[in-house]
Amino acid sequence: MAQILPIRPLLLSVLMMLAVVGGIYAQTNESLRGTLIVAVPVSDGLVTCADKRLFNIDAGTFKDDSIKIRRVGENALFVATNTVGFYDRKKKAVAFDAFKVTADYAAKNDINSGKPFFEGLRKEIADQLRSYLYARPYAEWPETDKPNQGLLFNLVFYTLDGETVHSHTLKVFYEKAQTPKITIPSRFTEVVQFPKLSGKGRDVIGYLAQHPSLAAQPAILRFDESYFNSHTTTVRDAVDFSRKLFLITNTAIPQARVSATFDCAYVSRQLGFQWIDGFGRLRPAA
């Protein structure tokens, strides 16, 4: 689990979980990428926000309509980053979708069971991925992502367990071979005490390190590990902080392919899972 080193002297030392950009890959199809996810523990639970962009690398186009946060019952959600699916250009449909595989599994299994849930999910992902591969010629299989040491995608679950917020990460590795090598280590679980970034978090931190006056702004600095206090942080505070990061990434780091628009969800001890708007207010029920 990689972590960002503290940025000095501005103390923007938020402990951040880093994962690579989310998207959809296709060797003979189209690669869609671009993700920044911000998770902030607050006084009564956790706020998670995600941008909405999927960037088509081959065509140089993008769409800002993707929902990257998925609900899991009343006390949990998950996000995914890196290559989260394979698009079949001939059929004009996603042939393997990590979001769907995970959501379908979660709908039939109880995440509160802990280890059995995640062990079963590891098997389900491996089985579904092998089925996808063996259904098409070897030449159409995706290549190994060597720059990322074979990482295919990350799944990050956030759960609210009583008074404690946990993150649970599954990393899915794939190596192209006649017998494909699919490796999914056991989940990595940790307590979430500080804001965490997934996806393009490294780009954001790098930019702030180069622009210390921006990093020193109170609205950003208060989320530094040295100053952060979840007990005094409100839902609105978390959403405002997330908005700043999305705007910075969208305008100042265009190569990150992150939208300024975003979705947010709130998992609270009182209300469970709730969608919230860009001002931290609960969205009306659909």
246: alpha, beta or left? (left if phi > 0; alpha if psi -120 to 50): alpha
Q: What is the pLDDT of residues 194-250, one digit of tens each?
A: 999 988 888 899 999 999 999 999 989 999 999 999 999 999 999 999 999 999 999
Q: With 70 as the cut, is the pLDDT of residue 22 above it?
A: no
Amino acid, res. 282: L
What is the mean predicted confidence (pLDDT) over 118-124? 98
Q: What is the pLDDT of residues 269-285, one digit of tens each?
A: 999 999 999 989 998 76
Contact 43, 232 (CB under 8 A): yes
Considering only residues 13 and 59, tell me which one the structure prediction assigns the higher pLDDT: 59
pTM of the model: 0.86
pLDDT band at residue 257 using 50, 70 and 90 as cut-offs: confident
- To the question of domain 23-276 being in CATH 3.60.20.10, the answer is yes
CA dist 238 and 46 (Å) reads: 9
What is the mean predicted confidence (pLDDT) over 93-120? 94
**Distance between start and end Cα atoms, the chain:** 37
What is the mean predicted confidence (pLDDT) over 109-133? 97
